[in-house]
């Protein structure tokens, strides 16, 4: 079987009203950061609500390869025994990070200040994604780091360099780039400042503060200097990006009423709620509180009539991962939805603009694409076959589309769904969806 590839397709046969209470898996972004910061902190960190998915396990395995001990107490609970800022050990070989862009970019910053050499590699999809945006500013900090001439993996980092803090104005809004530079700043002499062109998710800043790190923030500038981190327990909230698929599913499926528990509603992540509410979605927040430095709330969503809108460009950077699901809502809304300023979607796990356009057109929806977005004419989804391009978010988005399509929808190549949302199909079935999973091996 070593020379074969597993193919997983979903056959979606519609759904009646979606009803019930759901616990969505833990936030992937926060789970990554909990592992990394706990690993270089002084003391042991207990993490609950951890997302046990392929991407986060890639981060865990990389840290374990560098001598970090992680005790598993169950699929969503673990203890990380920190080794301190300078306690990581040289790995025996290259660190393979699968399909996880977060892992490779954040670890690039974390490893730039170590005393040993490292090589970061990934699967075919990750190996096509842009890495120069991280490599170049790290070089400005005096890191000895390089990628391929094409700006892709593998990344090679030569250790033993003394990093120097810089003030860096990011050319694109990217939480991964910002986080990589802040992590490198923990190892640099002087201050490291990052200036954002637009607000991006701030989980790294919040968690650094949770671990006792002093950070200065003003307007769009974040600054820190080298300092120790002290372990503190972390409760990971449920992932709003994962919850979005259920928000959209309930919003477009007549008679639905879903209650999603303990969802992370960080202000730099909840643009999706603003966008869906602007489209007319019936979404309300309950039991709002702060857990481990992160805002958390229960979210109730009921079906309703959606209207197409021009999505404000100011919200695009902080909803970038949610657009596959949002554009399914657009396809079910009356009128036109316009998305612009989203060129970043073209360099995700797939070219998501093209993948979404092709899939929507295959289901009878009129779409016009541009370099940085698309126009979607709302209508009635037909049955059909959609290629997910092995992109987990594209696969889940069109699975949701199949709930309201006029005929069965086959979503091809869904093997990577467990990358970000293990248990996705089980939860859909739990609230009343008819989905068949078809698995085959191809030589």
- Measure the CA–CA gap between 260 and 22, rounded to whole angstroms: 5
Range of the domain at 217: 28-232
Q: Are residues 70 and 185 in the same domain?
A: yes
Please give the Cα distance from 57 to 365 (Å, whole number): 37
Chain centroid to CA 206: 17
- Where residue 173 falls among pLDDT bands split at 50, 70, 90? confident
Question: Which of the four pLDDT bands, split at 50, 70 and 90, describes residue 12?
Answer: very high
Question: Where does a domain end: 232, 258, 286?
Answer: 232
Over the chain, what is the mean pLDDT? 95
Give me the residue label for tokens 């170590």.
114
- Global pTM reads 0.92
Residues 215 and 263 in one domain: no
User: Rounded CA gap, 235 and 258, in Å?
Assistant: 23
Q: Is the pLDDT of residue 4 over 70?
A: no
- For the question of residue 321 being annotated catalytic, the response is yes
pLDDT digits (tens, 9 = 90+) for 62-120: 999 999 999 999 989 999 999 999 999 999 999 999 999 999 999 999 999 999 999 99
Give the helix/strand (H/E) hosting 240. Answer: helix 240-252
User: 178, 208, 232 — which closes off a domain?
Assistant: 232
Is pLDDT above 60 for 2?
no
Q: Are 423 and 20 in contact (CB under 8 A)?
A: no
Residue range 350-400, pLDDT digits in tens: 999 999 999 999 999 999 999 999 999 999 999 999 999 999 999 999 999
215, 321: one domain: no
CATH number at residue 136: 3.65.10.10
Going by C-alpha positions, the residue among 432, 375, 437, 438 that lies closest to residue 404 is 432
Segment 22-73, tens digit of pLDDT: 999 999 999 999 999 999 999 999 999 999 988 999 999 999 999 999 999 9
Name the active-site residue from 9, 298, 321, 413. Answer: 321
Number of domains forming the structure of the chain: 2
Residue 136: φ, ψ to 5°: -65, -50
Q: Shortest CA distance to 276 belongs to which of 252, 297, 258?
A: 252
Q: Are residues 244 and 222 in the same domain?
A: no
């Amino acid at each position: 079987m070593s020379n074969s590839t597993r193919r997983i397709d979903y056959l979606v046969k519609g759904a009646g009203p979606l009803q019930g209470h759901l616990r969505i898996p833990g936030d992937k972004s926060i789970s990554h950061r909990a592992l990394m910061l706990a690993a270089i902190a002084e003391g042991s960190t207990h993490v609950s609500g951890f997302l046990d998915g392929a991407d986060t396990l890639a981060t865990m395995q990389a840290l374990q390869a560098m001598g970090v001990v992680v005790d598993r107490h169950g699929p969503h609970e673990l203890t990380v025994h920190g080794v301190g800022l300078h306690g990581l050990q040289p790995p025996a070989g290259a660190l393979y990070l699968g399909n996880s862009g977060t892992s490779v970019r954040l670890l690039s910053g974390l490893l730039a200040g170590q005393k040993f050499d490292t090589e970061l590699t990934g699967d075919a999809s990750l190996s096509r994604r842009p890495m120069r945006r991280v490599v170049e500013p790290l070089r400005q900090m005096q890191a000895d780091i390089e990628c391929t001439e094409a700006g892709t993996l593998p990344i090679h980092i030569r250790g033993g360099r003394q990093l120097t803090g810089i003030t860096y104005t990011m050319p694109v809004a990217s939480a991964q780039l910002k986080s990589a530079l802040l992590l490198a700043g923990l190892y640099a002499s002087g201050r490291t400042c990052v200036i954002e062109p637009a607000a991006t998710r701030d989980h790294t800043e919040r968690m650094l503060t949770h671990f006792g790190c002093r950070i200065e923030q003003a307007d769009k500038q974040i600054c820190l200097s080298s300092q120790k981190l002290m372990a503190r327990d972390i409760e990971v909230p449920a992932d709003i990006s994962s919850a979005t698929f259920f928000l959209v599913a309930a919003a477009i499926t007549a008679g639905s009423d879903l209650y999603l528990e303990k969802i992370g509603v960080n202000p730099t992540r909840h643009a999706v709620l603003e966008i869906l509410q602007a489209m007319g979605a019936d979404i309300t927040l309950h039991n709002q509180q702060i857990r481990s430095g992160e805002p958390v709330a229960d979210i109730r969503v009921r079906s309703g009539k959606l209207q197409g809108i021009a999505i404000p460009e100011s919200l695009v950077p902080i909803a970038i991962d949610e657009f596959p699901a949002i554009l399914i809502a657009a396809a079910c809304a009356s009128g036109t939805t316009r998305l612009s300023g989203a060129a970043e979607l073209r360099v995700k796990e797939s070219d998501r603009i093209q993948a979404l356009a092709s899939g929507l057109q295959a289901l009878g929806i009129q779409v016009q694409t541009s370099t940085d977005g698309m126009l979607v004419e709302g209508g009635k989804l037909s049955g059909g076959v959609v290629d997910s391009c092995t992109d987990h978010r594209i696969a889940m988005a069109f699975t949701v589309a199949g709930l309201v399509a006029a005929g069965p929808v086959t979503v091809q190549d869904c093997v990577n769904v467990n990358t970000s949302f293990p248990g996705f199909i089980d939860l859909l079935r739990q609230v009343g969806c008819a989905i068949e999973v078809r698995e085959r091996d191809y030589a």
